[in-house]
Amino acid sequence: MKVLPRVQAFQPASRNTVMTIRRISQTGFSLVEALIPLTVAGVLLGSALPTLVGLKERHRLEGTAAQLETDIQLARATAVARNEVLRMDFLQEPGGDGCYVVHDGAPGDCTCTADGPDCVPEVTPLRTVLLPMAQPLSLQTNVRGVSFDPTGGTVTPTATLRLHGRAGTLHLVVNVMGRTRTCTPDEALPGQRRC
């Protein structure tokens, strides 16, 4: 009699073997799974970028306005402390760059250059601020300059200074006592007082 080999019936793998196989097959990410978070991050960044640029321009505009206001108060206080008339001249270069100079001379005694103030020999510039066109901010005024009187601490004449930037326009209104009020004609600058 001939003995046939014994055929074993199919036996399913043990539970531990199945779990091991599943763990091995699920250890990585597919390309699609990896690209989904990158795509979402790209969309969020793309939508936030214009807001960040606008915020940077607004801070530049408000910072320059605050600096100008501080310099007006400094010039007024320095005139009183030194007991002499000081001037703040607002100048515009032919190429478009603007500046302002606080000095102890007469109107027109100082001009601005890219290297700093250029004043006649007997005039001392105390503070100079350049506003290059690269910033892109421009300063427009209704006067060429103002004088700070040491006896009363007054400013002559009163002035309206307009700072224009990509984010909008800010007006600095200087009264006879040297106080500065900031306002905007634009709705684009929330939080600022309207003119």
1-59 pLDDT per residue, tens:
566 666 565 566 555 555 555 555 556 677 788 788 888 887 877 776 666 667 888 88
Distance CA 116, CA 169 (A): 26
Distance CA 97, CA 116 (A): 12
Based on C-alpha coordinates, what's the Rg of the chain? 35
**Does CATH number 3.90.1330.10 belong to domain 33-183?**
no
In one-letter notation, the amino acid at residue 98 is: G
Q: What is the pLDDT of residues 143-195, one digit of tens each?
A: 999 999 998 889 999 999 998 888 889 999 999 998 999 998 888 777 888 88
pTM, entire model: 0.71
Residue 126's CB: how many other CB atoms inside 10 A? 19
Q: What is the pLDDT of residue 51?
A: 66
Q: What is the pLDDT of residues 110-143, one digit of tens each?
A: 888 777 788 899 999 998 888 776 667 888 889 9
Distance CA 95, CA 80 (A): 35
**Contact indicator for 184, 194 with CB cutoff of 8 Å:** yes
Please state the domain extents for the chain.
Answer: 33-183
**Contact indicator for 58, 167 with CB cutoff of 8 Å:** yes
